[in-house]
Amino acid sequence: MAKEEQKQTRRVFLKQSAIMALMGGYAITGNSAMLFAGKESKKRKTLSEPSPMLPPVPAILLTVNGNGDIKDEITVVWTFVVNSKPAQIGISVHDEHIALGLIKTHGQFVLNVPTAEMAQPFDVADMNSKKIIDKYSLTGLTRGRALKVDAPTIEEAPIHVECKVFNTIKLPPVRTIFLASVEATTVQEHVCDKDERLIVSSVPFFGMTVGSGEFYTMGKRVGHIGQSVGNEGIKY
């Protein structure tokens, strides 16, 4: 990607939720009875092992400051929405990831929302989450700086969600959950409309499927939150 493309102007939303950018939820439109009419019931089976088998969940690259000999870190974490107002998110970090200690030390990080074109560096970062190496050099991604928190960013990512930790939960056997407030959100200009509403079709977001280990883009729009009550203004 050319440098001028990497440094696109960003819009800034302070203390607002850009969490819709981290969600891939869909709603069913129309008469559900009609949608399912004529479909035979399907037999079910129980998997040999329990699985959190879910549709694509957000593909997120977390960035956090380094510490001493450890470089600024890029890693992949499970991400989920906690609240929209106030804007709060949660992340789940494996105990073996280099990022864990850095997040505990600094208490600040950035969630960088990648595009489908970034799937390869995304996977490179993910497969090296346990290694102390310069992930920026390894992935070829461009280091930037956050606006409101002390943390690096990934300039190629169209959305930066800047976060400060307010609670930490040890989750046996091998994970730690961090709950964080969203201090600022910056986006490349084409990502939101004049009302700061996410334009999903403007960016090829992708997610990870739990149960198959694959990456998928968003697909087509099939509805919106509040459609059953005639509300078109909900954006969370």
Considering the entire predicted model, what is its pTM?
0.85
Compute the distance between CA of residue 229 and CA of residue 219 in angstroms, rounded to an integer. 24
Query: Which runs of E-coded beta strand occur in 46-174?
Result: 54-58, 61-64, 73-76, 78-83, 88-94, 108-113, 143-145, 152-154, 159-171
Kind and range of the H or E element at 122? helix 119-127
Q: Where are the domains of the chain?
A: 7-23+55-229
Above 90 in pLDDT, residue 9?
no
Within 8 A by CB and 6+ apart from 185, the residues are: 12, 13, 14, 16, 17, 18, 87, 159, 160, 161, 162
In whole numbers, what is the pLDDT of the chain averaged over residues? 88
Q: Which is higher by pLDDT, 40 or 207?
A: 207
Q: Which is higher by pLDDT, 31 or 171?
A: 171
Above 90 in pLDDT, residue 229?
yes
Return the pLDDT at 192. 95
Question: Smallest Cα–Cα separation from 8: which of 191, 189, 217?
Answer: 189
Return the pLDDT at 28. 42
> What's the topology of domain 7-23+55-229?
Pnp Oxidase; Chain A (2.30.110)
